[in-house]
Amino acid sequence: MTDTIQEASPSAMRFPDSVAFNGFFAPVRIEADVYDLEVEGAIPADIDGAFYRAAADTQYPPSRKEDIYINGDGMITMVRIKDGHADLRTRFVRTRRFELERAARRSLFGAYRNYFTDDPAVAGIDDGNANTAVVWHGGKLLALKEAALPYELDPVTLETRGIYDFGGQLSSRTFTAHPKIDPLTGELIAFAYNSSGRPDNEILLFDISPSGVVTRRQSFTAPYSSMMHDWLVTRDHLIFTFSPMISDYERMKTEPQYFVWDPSLRSHVAIIPRRQGVGGIRWFSAELAMETHSLNAWSEGDRVIADHFVARSGWFSQFPKTTEGILHEAPPIAHRWTFDLSEGAGAPVSDGPTYQSHRLYDCPGDMPRVDPRFLMSKNRHSWIGCLDLDLGPMPDFGPMGPPFNCLVHLDDETKQRTPFFPGPDSAPEEPVFIPKGPDAAEGEGYLISVIGRRKLNRNDIVILDALDLGAGPLATLKVPFRLRYAFHGTWVPGEELP
Ligand SMILES: [Fe+2]
């Protein structure tokens, strides 16, 4: 399974004729300021803050025509909402990669994370593109990509301030795109994998204080070098799901695709006590499956409960080649896994202690959100993106697997499931929760989500009552052009903005 590195003409300013670069998913590349978006309905007067989202928006045609969507350049959207008005701003993150390619007027970096496919002119420079998530911590707005270090942005102008390694405190070339903010302590709990900048088996852990000081640094050894995208954190434990989406340094020299699914291997779960640290690690044997994104987790004595989306396959929309050829991608389904820590093993085991598993909801979905003030403790409310064919047909397949056609509110107390269906040919992105205020009850607030209007080739941004999705949007913000499909976003209250 080798693939030659394809050279594009140095002057070819034309994107490939593939699903990742055409139609609704064609690169947008517009850096815009739209003052006062048109509004249908009324923006609730108590909303004051900024919604940020990170997208991949490819600046130059890739050097390899089969380039994947997640290899695009970071494009950040900001929607500043105040006094019933909404202003929109979009800016590329000026990564080193972006600046070098702009100066050369062509792509210089090759396949995702595989520097053997890069132009020799950029040897030794990472391909970090800051396109996956935006996090607000310690008064800093960070654009994240798990293959590289964060970039700091100005939270008002979105101007790029540069690479941010917490003042030199990270002993790592990478940093997760899914750090977790502890709502009680304000700490940023984070990890890094392949932190040497190439495949390796070490996982680094960081506790970072509310002011950005790394107060603890630990490491442990993974069963293999693999994609570690999301994870779970409770008040008492860290939970890692290892799945055989494998990376291998020797293979990188002949195979451009960085991750390859190897179904001959097992999945594993590691649970680490937060206070004791890696010395107390417990291992469980898992079904062959991949955690795509996590909802929330909590600890109850010796029990750990983890709610997350799990797919019984690798992430083939981005990394289609496996050790067994091309397999069928299974969609992620929300599951609750319950662990008994007293049964855990001291080292990874292929056939050892396992856990109880049940489905939270039957429809395929992903991109979950909870009220961030209730992260790490037992929560009642969750919101997810879903594909429910009882509500309407599936929007056209995109470059990121099956699209959603609705958002769903899961109430873990009443077990009620309430969908919001945005209409035909419309696909919602990850919902972000806006609390009504610091003292509001769990779930009391709004949900904001960008809706792709496929046939109209543009977007709406809906604001919903988070506990009454069935009532439809309170406000619909009309974006007069198309935003490229994004991954993860965040909400920053107005009083925290400069
Ligand atoms: Fe993610």
φ and ψ of 117, to 5 deg: -100, 5
CA of 370 to the centre of ligand 1 (A): 15
CA of 294 to the centre of ligand 1 (A): 9
Asked if 344 contacts 283 with a C-beta cutoff of 8 angstroms, the reply is yes
CA of 359 to the centre of ligand 1 (A): 21
One-character DSSP codes across 317-337: TT--EETTEE-PPPPPEEEEE
Triad 223, 224, 226: Cα angle to 5°: 125
CA of 487 to the centre of ligand 1 (A): 7
CA of 116 to the centre of ligand 1 (A): 25
Asked if 191 contacts 242 with a C-beta cutoff of 8 angstroms, the reply is no
Q: Is 413 exposed, middle or buried (0-12, 13-18, 19+ CB in 10 A)?
A: exposed
Comparing CA positions, the residue from 76, 54, 35 lying closest to residue 158 is 76
Pairing of strands 417-420, 406-411: antiparallel
CA of 134 to the centre of ligand 1 (A): 11
CA of 368 to the centre of ligand 1 (A): 10
CA of 306 to the centre of ligand 1 (A): 17
Cα distances from 332 to residues 364, 368, 497, in angstroms, run 6, 11, 36
Which residues, 6+ apart, have CB-to-CB distance to 477 below 8 Å?
37, 38, 39, 43, 79, 86, 88, 460, 461, 462, 463
> In this predicted structure, what is the pLDDT of residue 6?
45
CA of 42 to the centre of ligand 1 (A): 31
CA of 145 to the centre of ligand 1 (A): 9
pTM of the model: 0.96
> In this predicted structure, what is the pLDDT of residue 171?
87
Neighbours of 235 (CB within 10 A): 17
Q: Is 204 exposed, middle or buried (0-12, 13-18, 19+ CB in 10 A)?
A: buried
Ranges of the chain with pLDDT below 50? 1-6, 8
CA–CA separation, 67 and 107 (whole Å): 11
CA of 386 to the centre of ligand 1 (A): 16
Provide the mean pLDDT of the chain.
Answer: 95
CA of 231 to the centre of ligand 1 (A): 10
Which residues, 6+ apart, have CB-to-CB distance to 103 below 8 Å?
none
CA of 410 to the centre of ligand 1 (A): 20
Asked if 461 contacts 451 with a C-beta cutoff of 8 angstroms, the reply is yes
CA of 366 to the centre of ligand 1 (A): 9
> In this predicted structure, what is the pLDDT of residue 191?
98
CA of 416 to the centre of ligand 1 (A): 26
CA of 246 to the centre of ligand 1 (A): 18
Instruction: Read off the pLDDT of residues 336-382 as tens digits, 9 standing for 90 and up.
Output: 999 999 999 999 998 889 999 999 999 999 999 999 999 999 999 99
- CA 254 vs. chain centroid, Å, equals 28
CA–CA separation, 160 and 157 (whole Å): 9
Architecture of domain 19-496: 7 Propeller (2.130)
> In this predicted structure, what is the pLDDT of residue 473?
98
Q: Is 391 exposed, middle or buried (0-12, 13-18, 19+ CB in 10 A)?
A: middle
The span from the first CA to the last CA of the chain, in angstroms, equals: 52
CA of 177 to the centre of ligand 1 (A): 7
Instruction: Read off the pLDDT of residues 485-497 as tens digits, 9 standing for 90 and up.
Output: 999 999 999 999 9
CA of 367 to the centre of ligand 1 (A): 7
CA of 373 to the centre of ligand 1 (A): 20
CA of 119 to the centre of ligand 1 (A): 28
CA–CA separation, 425 and 59 (whole Å): 27
CA–CA separation, 82 and 71 (whole Å): 34
Question: What is the token pair recorded at 64?
Answer: 């390899």
CA of 229 to the centre of ligand 1 (A): 6
CA of 270 to the centre of ligand 1 (A): 19
CA–CA separation, 195 and 199 (whole Å): 8
CA of 132 to the centre of ligand 1 (A): 7
CA of 192 to the centre of ligand 1 (A): 14
User: Based on C-alpha coordinates, what's the Rg of the chain?
Assistant: 21
> In this predicted structure, what is the pLDDT of residue 5?
45
Cα distances from 116 to residues 26, 106, 261, 493, in angstroms, run 27, 18, 20, 43
Question: What is the token pair recorded at 17?
Answer: 């004729």
Question: What is the token pair recorded at 379?
Answer: 């929560």
- CA 10 vs. chain centroid, Å, equals 32
CA of 12 to the centre of ligand 1 (A): 32
- Domains of the chain, by residue range, sit at 19-496
CA of 335 to the centre of ligand 1 (A): 17
CA–CA separation, 236 and 423 (whole Å): 42
Asked if 43 contacts 110 with a C-beta cutoff of 8 angstroms, the reply is no
CA of 162 to the centre of ligand 1 (A): 22
> In this predicted structure, what is the pLDDT of residue 11?
53
CA–CA separation, 421 and 427 (whole Å): 9
> In this predicted structure, what is the pLDDT of residue 3?
43
